Amino acid sequence: MFISGFGYILGETFKGLYRNRWMCITSTGVVAVTLLMLGLFMLVNLNVSHITETVKEQVEIVVYIDEDADQATLNQLRDKLGSHDQVSEVDYVSSDEHMSRLQRQLGGMLEGYDTNLENPLLASYEVRTVVPEAVVSLAEEFEEYPGVSAVFYGQGYVENLFALTNVVQVIGLGLMVGLSITAVFLISHTIRLTVMMRKREITIMKYVGATNWFIRWPFILEGLLMGFVGSIVPIAILYYVYEAVIEWAVMSELVFISLLPLEMVIIELAIYLVPLGTALGILGSTFSMGRFLRV
């Protein structure tokens, strides 16, 4: 017959899930689809920010030194750059170094160029900033320094990169919020139906003196289970999808795209999606219970 207390609550949870199995499967499926979209976007977002971070780290300001500047001005310039609180690193690159880099980059194209002739390239300081976003304003500042002939930081390209990163983050946040609200709504709707089917039972429970928590627990556990399963399924799907994507990237020799490793991404997804799904399930069931407990 019956088992009492905690056993009863667990029993009721599974009975409730079984009695409304189609509704539960439907709403678990909806949660899974919602979280799948969310996870898919997170996957893209994680990789986009990984790529942009990598690129950002390479962003630097090249300060070309005026040929005609005297040694004192140059020393002053070096000290000013080195002691600036926004600057993390300053490297001096001589005009000879520039030349050999150019030769490396262009390969054989410079062959025959007589290196004994006067080197037309300017010496420079390569400056790395503490925050990549500070590049634009710092570059403007450095241009005014005495002994500087020109400043280069990938004008235009850098601004676009930062703007893109921001847009991706804003869209991601918007999607997360929107999809989460949808999931709460759907779960609470499902639980509300199961609550309504058991309204008579709940009324009786109230009359014989059951506490609200005793009534609530089976429904909360139902929501929790639906949310949990609804988050595990998309993670499993995304695991195989991402595995395939990585394989494809390797096969296509898309070496210039540095994708994040599979395990790391899936763990990251699980850290977000499992608590989120479970919380959504609990939230959804709590939402739909409130009204029925005010007897």
Based on the shown chain and the rule CB under 8 A, indicate whether residue 26 belongs to the binding site for other proteins: no
Give the shortest CB-203-to-other proteins separation in angstroms: 7
Q: Which stretch binds other proteins (CB under 8 A): 40-48, 51-59, 65-73, 202-210?
A: 202-210
Window 135-174: contact mask with other proteins (x via CB under 8 A): ----------------------------------------
Residue 11 or 154: which CB sits closer to other proteins? 11
Residue in the block written with tokens 């409730």 = 16
Q: Which stretch binds other proteins (CB under 8 A): 3-11, 170-178, 218-226, 231-239?
A: 3-11
Cβ distance 177 to 270 under 8 Å?
no
- Length of the chain, in residues: 295
Q: How many CA atoms lie within 13 A of 168 on its CB side?
A: 18
Q: Which stretch binds other proteins (CB under 8 A): 66-74, 107-115, 207-215, 229-237?
A: 207-215
Cβ distance 183 to 31 under 8 Å?
yes
Give the tokens for residue 11. Answer: 């029993």
Based on the shown chain and the rule CB under 8 A, indicate whether residue 201 belongs to the binding site for other proteins: yes
Give the shortest CB-249-to-other proteins separation in angstroms: 57
Based on the shown chain and the rule CB under 8 A, indicate whether residue 291 belongs to the binding site for other proteins: no
Q: Which stretch binds other proteins (CB under 8 A): 63-71, 154-162, 206-214, 240-248?
A: 206-214
Among 33, 97, 206, 287, binds other proteins (CB under 8 A): 206
Based on the shown chain and the rule CB under 8 A, indicate whether residue 2 belongs to the binding site for other proteins: yes
Number of Cβ within a 10 Å radius of residue 156: 8
Number of Cβ within a 10 Å radius of residue 157: 10
Number of Cβ within a 10 Å radius of residue 78: 16
- DSSP classification of residue 260: P
Q: How far is CA 63 from CA 74, 88, 100, 155, in A?
A: 12, 15, 18, 13
Based on the shown chain and the rule CB under 8 A, indicate whether residue 251 belongs to the binding site for other proteins: no
| Residue 70 to residue 122: CA distance in whole angstroms | 14
Based on the shown chain and the rule CB under 8 A, indicate whether residue 18 belongs to the binding site for other proteins: no
Among 196, 211, 243, 267, binds other proteins (CB under 8 A): 211
- DSSP classification of residue 179: H
Residues lying near other proteins in the complex (CB under 8 A): 1-5, 8, 200-201, 203-212, 214-215, 295
